Amino acid sequence: QVQVAESGGGLVQAGGSLRLSCAASGRTFNHYIMGWFRQAPGKEREEVGHIVWHNNSTWYSDSAKGRFTISGDSAKKTLYLQMSSLKPEDTAAYFCAVAPLESRTYEYWGQGTQGTVSS
């Protein structure tokens, strides 16, 4: 089993920055993906971006490109989401998730951390 926990959410003004952290523990995989998702009130959950640790490749959604950066440490199973130039529409609950590379299915999820951007 894998435990996932996010931290770092908060309230920030539009144009500001926020850094979220994620730590995974428990079962280890040879290769895995860690990703960030978000869900705003009344909207479906969307993937913000992810990193494939065995080759350090990253992917970002269109809304995240150029403003958000994913980084971390695969050995420590930690993941960060640096968000800049934040907009009110970035307000959401942000979730971290882990997927075994073999399945690319996110199986392990954190409880989420709230990020709120005021206008």
- pLDDT for the residue 75: 87
Tokens of 62: 């269109």
Which pLDDT score, from 0 to 100, does residue 30 have? Answer: 72
Model pLDDT, residue 115: 98
Please tell me the predicted confidence (pLDDT) of residue 92.
Answer: 98
Q: What pLDDT sits at residue 22?
A: 97
pLDDT in tens, 11-33: 999 999 999 999 999 876 678 99
Question: Cα dist. 57→51, 60, 87, 107, 115 in Å?
Answer: 6, 10, 26, 20, 25
From residue 98, alpha-carbon distances to 3, 16, 19, 37, 119 in Å are 9, 28, 19, 11, 32
| pLDDT digit string, tens, across residues 63-115 | 999 999 999 998 899 999 999 999 999 999 999 999 999 999 999 999 999 99
Q: Are 35 and 49 in contact (CB under 8 A)?
A: yes
Average pLDDT over residues 38-42: 96
Q: So what's the pLDDT on residue 112?
A: 97
